[in-house]
Structure 1
Amino acid sequence: MTGRDDIILEYLAETGVALNKRGLEINLSSDGYDISYSTIKRRLPKLEAAELIEIADPSGPWYRITEKGERYLQGEADLRDEPEPNA
C-alpha cells in the first residue's frame, strides 16, 4: 500500500460516500490533496483487488470502502503478508 492509497481510503471512510474516479479526483483536490487522476486510476484496481474498496454501482463504476478497508485504517487488518495485486 502507498500513502496515496491511505488518503483515498481515509477520504472514502470519512465521507461515507461512493465516488467514481473523477469524483475522487475533484473532491480530493478541493480538500487540498495532490493526487492525480492517473494515480487514482492506477491505484483503485489495486485497492479493489485487495478488497479494501468495492464497486457500489457498476454504472460508473462508483467505489466505496469495505469493512476490510475500515479495519485496515483502524490498524486491525494487516496487509503486509498479502502480496500487492497486479492490476
Structure 2
Amino acid sequence: MAPVDYEIMLFFDEYPILVSPKILAVNIDYDRHYVSRRCSALSDAGLLEPVDTGLYQLTDTGRDYLEGDLDVCELEDD
C-alpha cells in the first residue's frame, strides 16, 4: 500500500460516484499517471472495482478496509 492509496479510497468513500483516475488526481492533488497506476493496483487487490472503461468505484472490501474490519495483510496473502 502506498500513502496515496488511503486518500484514493477515502475519496471514493466520501463521494460514492464513478470517477476516472484523471478526475480523482485533480481532486486529491496527485499526478494523474501515478493515481492511475494506484487505482489499477487497488483494483487488483479487490479494494476498487473498474466499472466502465477508465472508471472506478470502491468495493465492499475497500469499505471494510477503511472501517478497520480488514487488514491489508489479509489481502496480500491471497
TM-score range, shorter chain: 0.7 to 0.9
The answer to whether 1:6 aligns with 2:6 is yes
Q: Summarize the alignment of residues 3-82 of structure 1 with structure 2, pairs less than 5 Å apart.
A: 3-29=3-29, 35-58=30-53, 61-82=54-75
Secondary structure of the structure 2 residue equivalent to 1:55: strand
Count of matched residue pairs = 77
Structure label with greater radius of gyration = 1
Per the TM alignment, residue 44 of structure 1 is displaced from its structure 2 partner at its CA by 1.0
User: What TM-score does the superposition give when structure 2 sets the normalisation length?
Assistant: 0.87
Question: What is the percent sequence identity of the aligned residues?
Answer: 26
Query: Unpaired runs of 5+ in structure 1?
Result: 30-34
Query: Unpaired runs of 5+ in structure 2?
Result: none
> Displaced runs of 4+ in structure 1, greater than 6 A?
none
If each structure's helix is expressed as a fraction of its own residues, which one has the higher value? Answer: 2
User: What TM-score does the superposition give when structure 1 sets the normalisation length?
Assistant: 0.79
